[in-house]
Chains A and B, each alone.
Chain A
Amino acid sequence: AQSVTQLGSHVSVSEGALVLLRCNYSSSVPPYLFWYVQYPNQGLQLLLKYTTGATLVKGINGFEAEFKKSETSFHLTKPSAHMSDAAEYFCAVTGKSGNYGQNFVFGPGTRLSVLP
């Protein structure tokens, strides 16, 4: 079984400040981890993903995340927030199992507000 927790349903940062969105997971198999972004009334867009290899992964729009197995974490960061980063962010986990992978499990989401 897998699960995802995202600490903080709402995070506010000032424009230009560091963005840190937290994601912790549990998984009985080696995890594949994802971050998605959702703008109002739109679908989800993939920001970045970790499957294997380098534990620090870079995504679109200047975001990056680091897979830390010992901490079961996959926190999302961006050095300098921009007004256009205001959106909802979802962390998701899945894992390779047999011929087919398991379905995604999504976290509850974190709404990011960027203050001028």
Chain B
Amino acid sequence: DGGITQSPKYLFRKEGQNVTLSCEQNLNHDAMYWYRQDPGQGLRLIYYSQIVNDFQKGDIAEGYSVSREKKESFPLTVTSAQKNPTAFYLCASSITQGVGYTFGSGTRLTVV
């Protein structure tokens, strides 16, 4: 079955460490997205990519980085510059930008 796979489901990071969250899709979707979710704040867009080797900053890109070397993969790195990284991170994809998102099951990142 086609879908989006996020891994790991739970991730713990020490202060000052970089961590990478994985997002893989086999839906043949062109566009992929990363959102951050905090309680009571809904979803906030971190980065998005419309096509391989191209990506754009969203509303809260500071302290994050991404790559899009393959159509199927859109990993998110949370760098040490992100001062408050504890959150639930959601990856999504769509056939074209803005049409019918499919979401992964999320990664919960906690700073310890």
Binding site for B on A (CB under 8 A): 9, 32, 34, 36, 41-46, 49, 90, 92, 94-96, 100-104, 106-109
Report the Cα distance A107→B43, complex, angstroms: 8
Question: Which one of B14-22, B66-74, B77-85, B93-101 contacts A?
Answer: B93-101
Q: Which residue of A lies closest to B97 (CB)?
A: A100
Q: Which residue of A lies closest to B9 (CB)?
A: A41
Chosen A-B contacts, 27 in total, with CB atoms closer than 8 Å, are A32-B98, A32-B99, A34-B101, A41-B108, A43-B90, A43-B92, A43-B104, A43-B105, A44-B90, A44-B101, A44-B103, A45-B103, A46-B102, A92-B101, A95-B98, A96-B98, A100-B96, A100-B97, A101-B96, A101-B97, A103-B97, A104-B98, A106-B42, A107-B42, A108-B42, A109-B40, A109-B42
Question: Judging by beta carbons under 8 Å apart, are B41 and A101 in contact?
Answer: no
Interface residues of B in 3-20 (CB under 8 A from A): 4, 6
Question: Judging by beta carbons under 8 Å apart, are A102 and B42 in contact?
Answer: no
B25 is an interface residue with CB less than 8 A from chain A: no
Binding site for A on B (CB under 8 A): 4, 6, 33, 35, 40-43, 45, 48, 50, 58, 88, 90, 92, 96-106, 108
Report the Cα distance A32→B40, complex, angstroms: 24
Contacts of A106 in B (CB 8 A): 35, 42-43
Q: How far is the CB of B39 from chain A (nearest CB, A)?
A: 10
- With A44-B90, A45-B103 already in contact, the answer to whether A102 and B40 are too (CB < 8 A) is no
- With A9-B40, A41-B106, A90-B43 already in contact, the answer to whether A104 and B101 are too (CB < 8 A) is yes
Contacts of A100 in B (CB 8 A): 50, 96-98
Question: Judging by beta carbons under 8 Å apart, are A108 and B41 in contact?
Answer: yes
Q: Which residue of B lies closest to A91 (CB)?
A: B42
Contacts of B58 in A (CB 8 A): 103
